[in-house]
Amino acid sequence: MSFIAAAIQMSADSDKGANLERAERLVRAAVSHGASLIALPETFNWRGKRGAEASAAETIEGESVSLMARLAGELKVHIVAGSITEHVAGQEKTYNTSVMLGPDGARMGVYRKIHLFDIDLPGRVTVKESASRLSGAGVVCLASSLGAIGMSICYDLRFPELYRRLAFEGAKILVVPSCFTFPTGEAHWETLLRARAIENQAYVIAPAQFGPNVHGFSDYGNSMIIDPWGRVLGRASDQEGVVCAPIDLHYLDRVRNELPALTHAKLKA
């Protein structure tokens, strides 16, 4: 089985309406290139100051996921709605939440980011995600007509045990919607993405934010699609756009059969 996947690269800001219009246009552009699995970046719908997150947060039934659900149903495609800031009743903090939508527009699954990014590089960048976010707890691998899809978000990429769990649960495609900062992105983004693809013998689809953001630093961009041998099949330039590449599950099966490393694993906790 083979099909086209797309990773969307954006630079979202605090204008939610404009971000959603941009996301819709890019989803439609991906479909025009033949994509049947389309992944948006982390916080694709809104990216503003930390103090405004609570007021901008939505439930999963809110306008952002609802728009993506309508598009998925209209265009008959699978959409990974990168992530939104999710409001949960009774909670002061929010979740960083990714939603998978099927070609009938129905919600296939929900993943809440497990690993929260707290970092302080004096004079460069300070981020404390845990100050306003809750950590998710569940590993999410979703069965689909395109193959099993493992969900993750951004900083999760640094924790290989998550992806090995997903691989053991059957994932053949790993999605990593992200807002990687420029310093860490330049140093590690491609290396980590290729490592997750190689060690789990899976395709990796990594849509990302790029350029200067409202927090005063820059996001690395370089949205990518990588094959199970670790080859970069597509990479975004330093601008808004869509990266498309073929996903060939027969090739994936061949890689796993010819180098059966997953079946040789001894530590499967």
**In the 8-state DSSP scheme, what is residue 40?**
P
Asked if 74 is an active-site residue, the reply is: no
Asked if 244 is an active-site residue, the reply is: no
If you search the block for the tokens 């049947």, which residue do you land on? Answer: 36
**In the 8-state DSSP scheme, what is residue 131?**
G
> What is the block-wise mean pLDDT of the chain (269 residues), using blocks of 10 residues?
96 95 98 98 91 87 98 98 93 93 98 90 74 91 97 97 97 97 92 98 97 80 98 95 98 98 87
What is each CA distance from 260 to 162, 192, 251, 257, in whole angstroms? 20, 21, 14, 5
Confirm if 86 and 58 have CB atoms less than 8 A apart.
yes
Amino acid 121: pLDDT: 72
pTM listed for this prediction: 0.95
Q: Which is catalytic among the residues 53, 113, 141, 244? A: 113
Amino acid 269: pLDDT: 59
Amino acid 187: pLDDT: 94
Distance between CA 131 and CA 122 in Å, rounded?
18
Asked if 53 is an active-site residue, the reply is: no
Domains of the chain (ranges plus CATH)? 2-264 (3.60.110.10)
- Other beta carbons within 10 Å of 180: 28
Q: Which is catalytic among the residues 141, 154, 179, 244? A: 154
Pick from 241, 236, 163: nearest CA to 204? 163
CA pseudo-torsion sign 149, 153, 112, 45? negative
Amino acid 125: pLDDT: 66
Q: Which is catalytic among the residues 42, 53, 58, 86? A: 42
Amino acid 166: pLDDT: 98
Pick from 91, 101, 97, 84: nearest CA to 20? 84
